[in-house]
Amino acid sequence: MKRDERVNYQNTSFLGMLRINKISSLTVKNLGFYLGLILTIIFYYYCRNLSNDLIRKLADYMTNVLPSVSATLLGIIIAGLAIIVALSTGNIYNHLLENRTLQKLLFPFWYAASLWGVLILLLLVLKVLLLISTMKVIFIGIILIIFFLNYALFGTMALIGNRIRIMIYLAQIKR
């Protein structure tokens, strides 16, 4: 193993793994990012003229329903990670450490879980904003939440597809 491929804090931290995976692969080179953006723009144009009462009802509904949905999907991502780790054996880990492939394999789980975590946090903030803020700020919060919801959802779907492909490759390596 080359010296720069050794496992250390710099290449196993969130920011270190983000550098290895490159943020562009998770944003501008990611179809889910664009789908999330497009759906958010459509949502904005469809809902921009809603009455204040409807905006408040929408925000209230979102803050009541989406945290549990987000937490459930976060749990599914963690379960998926556990399955990937359980199906991999010791010899495969040595191969995956070459060229930081293991970091590239595992980081999307961390990233997707982070997106769902940020979404949960935004929903909690929106719940507080409902009590203390103007409708314009609440509507901006709704739009931001819709983007993160779409991006996290499409990112999770892509994560599942990519992991299926990787598990097929791992099965090939085991032979």
Of 144, 131, 142, the closest CA to residue 50 belongs to 142
What is the pTM for the complete model shown? 0.81
| pLDDT tens profile 3-14 | 555 676 676 777
Residue type (1 letter), 38: I
Say which residues have a Cβ less than 8 Å from residue 45's Cβ, sequence separation at least 6.
none
Torsional class of 162: left (φ above 0), alpha (ψ -120 to 50), beta (otherwise): alpha
| pLDDT tens profile 3-49 | 555 676 676 777 777 777 777 777 777 788 899 999 999 999 999 99
